[in-house]
Amino acid sequence: MREVRKPFLVSILFNLIVTCFLVETLHTSFVNGGEGFSGDYSKLSGIIIPGYASTQLRAWSILDCPYSPLDFNPLDSVWLDTTKLLSAVNCWLKCMLLDPYNQTDHPECKSRPDSGLSAITEIDPGYITGPLSSVWKEWVKWCIQFGVEANAILAAPYDWRLSASMLEERDLYFHKLKLTFETALRLRGGPSLVFAHSLGNNVFRYFLEWLKLEIAPKKYVQWLDDHIHAYFAVGAPLLGSSQTVKGALSGETFGLPVSEGTVRLLFNSFGSSVWMMPFSKYCRTDNVYWKHFFEGRGTGNHKYHCDDMEYRFNYSGWPTNIVNIEIPSTRGIDAYPSITEVAQQNVSSRECGLPTQLSFSAREVSDGTLFRAIKEYDPDTEKLLYQLEKLYHDDAVLNPLTPWDRPPLKNIFCIYGIDSKTEVGYYFAPSGKPYPDNWIITDIVYENEGALFSRSGNLVNGNPGASSGDETVPYNSLSWCKTWLGSKVNITRAPQNFSLSMTDLMYKWT
Ligand SMILES: *[C@@H]1O[C@H](CO)[C@@H](O)[C@H](O)[C@H]1NC(C)=O
Ligand SMILES: *[C@@H]1O[C@H](CO)[C@@H](O)[C@H](O)[C@H]1NC(C)=O
Ligand SMILES: *[C@@H]1O[C@H](CO)[C@@H](O)[C@H](O)[C@H]1NC(C)=O
Ligand SMILES: *[C@@H]1O[C@H](CO)[C@@H](O)[C@H](O)[C@H]1NC(C)=O
Ligand SMILES: CC(=O)N[C@H]1CO[C@H](CO)[C@@H](O)[C@@H]1O
């Protein structure tokens, strides 16, 4: 066993700052084989679920772009063609934007995700999704070294602009994903290894929940055992990411050659953006699974409860408040009366030490308090509030803005980078400019090396974690899967610049 796994570790080392493997019951299932899987790795398939912005989108329309020699024709690449983005940005936007309310295409242009492995290999995901995005290439190599046939590696690309419910409604994505697993089993005679990156983990979680409503309850775990041998969760934003709020209020370009205002416009038109909003680990909704059997499907509006911990401690279990909004001097308060009014009524007194600053915890971001508080001042947040309520809180399958308990899969590998300087909180102030440039970031709170500090380097009070995140997702969110630890677990820390043998790397870590 160990010989086969070695190349994986060694090759992945070059890509990960620190690798944590949480391996549960791996040993038992390899030794016993289990029904339908006899340990013949050529029977396995590999299924890759890519992350946010990591699937190629192509135009399915003819769009003349005035003042530009470049038009869009069917099958032209839209995401990501930086030449067209630079030379015909308004035209390109028509092919990218969705209606923020009903998630339909622009009347003049529509784009659809590409299919097959090329949908994820032909864009450089590193451009947009951070340090772990090319890890799947190493994973493919490892699968092949492990004995998985090269043509048994499949991608499950999707339109990453859509919310989960729209993925199913418009593209039957989850239906097709189920067929992908079933086809792989029929073809190869064995289960699959699932590799999900960033938002792909949220997609996979939704799939597992959706499946509960598709399959008879007694057969659910059997289906999982038959079709999924292991799940590799790579860089999963399990409790969301603070950066999502930055994207929603001021725009996050990730190095793209466009203005922040333009990316904000795009981001807030996509139903998927809210999927990664930070939320509290202490708040949950009713069990939809049981609701389904007792009350029928599609009831929506699940009750949201928080346990005592949410109210006993600050910051919803995060290092600090996610958002602080600074209201300018007295003159400014007169100019924005709705904010001060909300501040007095609806922001709890513990956070109102200073009358000129409103602070919002992860819970207050994900339950809509933040957007309601700034709604009258920034009308765009009405769209966000609509998406949050309609597409997430009222989703008939799952409210994705709730903590994920360990899924009943045999083997789970949770892999993430740590100890990089990661943004955990923001200070915003009104800029005086019109939408989409109406907020400026006045300060950022970073987590690094067990401390919190501001942009200028001053230490900030709060609850820093023992480590920090991977640059895009904070540590508390990435490491949530540690709550899934069972008794048989190996956690491996692997420094990025070392290439050591597996035995050298192993050490127990509680
Ligand atoms: C979606 O909204 C747009 C703009 O409000 C509207 O023109 C379009 O008809 C709507 N489409 C559907 C399917 O509701
Ligand atoms: C919560 O924050 C308030 C204001 O910052 C502070 O006074 C209080 O001590 C904090 N409570 C806890 C339990 O950390
Ligand atoms: C954990 O690592 C040790 C040492 O390499 C190995 O003997 C053991 O089998 C591993 N446990 C699991 C569950 O993989
Ligand atoms: C690996 O990186 C660490 C920190 O960046 C550094 O201290 C160490 O010397 C490096 N080791 C090698 C072998 O390059
Ligand atoms: C302005 C505003 O949003 N006010 C809300 C404050 O909270 C109460 C309930 O707690 C709502 O009824 C108000 O609409």
Q: Please tell me the predicted confidence (pLDDT) of residue 131.
A: 44
Evaluate: CB of 370 within 6 angstroms of ligand 5: no
Please list the alpha-helical segments (H only) found in 337-457. Answer: 337-346, 362-366, 369-374, 381-387
Mean pLDDT of all residues in 183-192:
94
- Span 140-165, pLDDT tens digits: 777 787 788 888 999 999 999 999 99
**503: which DSSP letter?**
H
pLDDT at 361 over 60: yes
- Whose Cα sits closest to atom 1 in ligand 1? 102
Q: Please tell me the predicted confidence (pLDDT) of residue 122.
A: 61
CA of 104 from ligand 1 middle (Å) equals: 7
Q: What percent of the chain has pLDDT over 90?
A: 48
pLDDT at 303 over 50: yes
Structure tokens at 288: 């939809």
pLDDT at 413 over 90: no
Whether residue 91 contacts residue 72, with contact meaning beta carbons closer than 8 Å, is answered with yes
Mean pLDDT of all residues in 50-61:
88
pLDDT at 282 over 80: yes
Evaluate: CB of 230 within 6 angstroms of ligand 3: no
CA of 490 from ligand 3 middle (Å) equals: 6
pLDDT at 347 over 70: no
Q: Please tell me the predicted confidence (pLDDT) of residue 499.
A: 30
For residue 499, the SS3 value is: coil
Q: Please tell me the predicted confidence (pLDDT) of residue 346.
A: 45
CA of 500 from ligand 4 middle (Å) equals: 13
pLDDT at 372 over 70: yes
Identify the band that residue 65 occupies on the pLDDT scale cut at 50, 70 and 90.
confident
Beta-bridge partner residues of 492: 506
Q: Please tell me the predicted confidence (pLDDT) of residue 160.
A: 93
- Span 196-225, pLDDT tens digits: 988 999 999 999 999 999 999 999 999 999
Q: Is residue 29 exposed (0-12), middle (13-18) or buried (19+ Cβ within 10 Å)?
A: middle
Evaluate: CB of 494 within 6 angstroms of ligand 4: no
Q: Please tell me the predicted confidence (pLDDT) of residue 78.
A: 86
Q: Please tell me the predicted confidence (pLDDT) of residue 364.
A: 95
- Selection from 61, 235, 39, 44 nearest residue 133 by Cα: 235
Show Cβ contacts of residue 148 under 8 Å, excluding neighbours closer than 6 positions: 41, 42, 44, 45, 46, 193
Q: Please tell me the predicted confidence (pLDDT) of residue 432.
A: 87
Atom nearest to 497 CA in ligand 4: 1
- Whose Cα sits closest to atom 3 in ligand 2? 350
Q: Please tell me the predicted confidence (pLDDT) of residue 61.
A: 87
CA 465-469-471 angle, to 5 degrees, is 140
How high does pLDDT run on average in the chain?
79
pLDDT at 359 over 50: yes
CA of 341 from ligand 5 middle (Å) equals: 10
Determine if the pTM surpasses 0.85. Answer: no
- Whose Cα sits closest to atom 2 in ligand 1? 102
Mean pLDDT of all residues in 176-182:
97
CA 267-198-3 angle, to 5 degrees, is 160
- Span 91-113, pLDDT tens digits: 889 999 999 999 999 999 999 99
Min mean pLDDT across 7-11, 136-140, 141-145, 482-486 is at 7-11
Atom nearest to 463 CA in ligand 2: 14
In degrees and rounded to multiples of 5, residue 441 shows phi and psi of -85, 120
Q: Please tell me the predicted confidence (pLDDT) of residue 402.
A: 95
Evaluate: CB of 27 within 6 angstroms of ligand 3: yes
Structural domains of the chain, ranges and CATH numbers in brackets: 2-55+114-239+406-416+478-505 (3.40.50), 57-113 (no CATH), 243-402+419-468 (no CATH)
Note the ligand closest to the C-alpha atom of 22.
3
- Span 449-472, pLDDT tens digits: 899 999 999 999 999 998 898 888
Evaluate: CB of 497 within 6 angstroms of ligand 1: no
- Selection from 37, 29, 8 nearest residue 143 by Cα: 8
Mean pLDDT of all residues in 26-43:
49
pLDDT at 354 over 60: no
- Whose Cα sits closest to atom 12 in ligand 5? 346
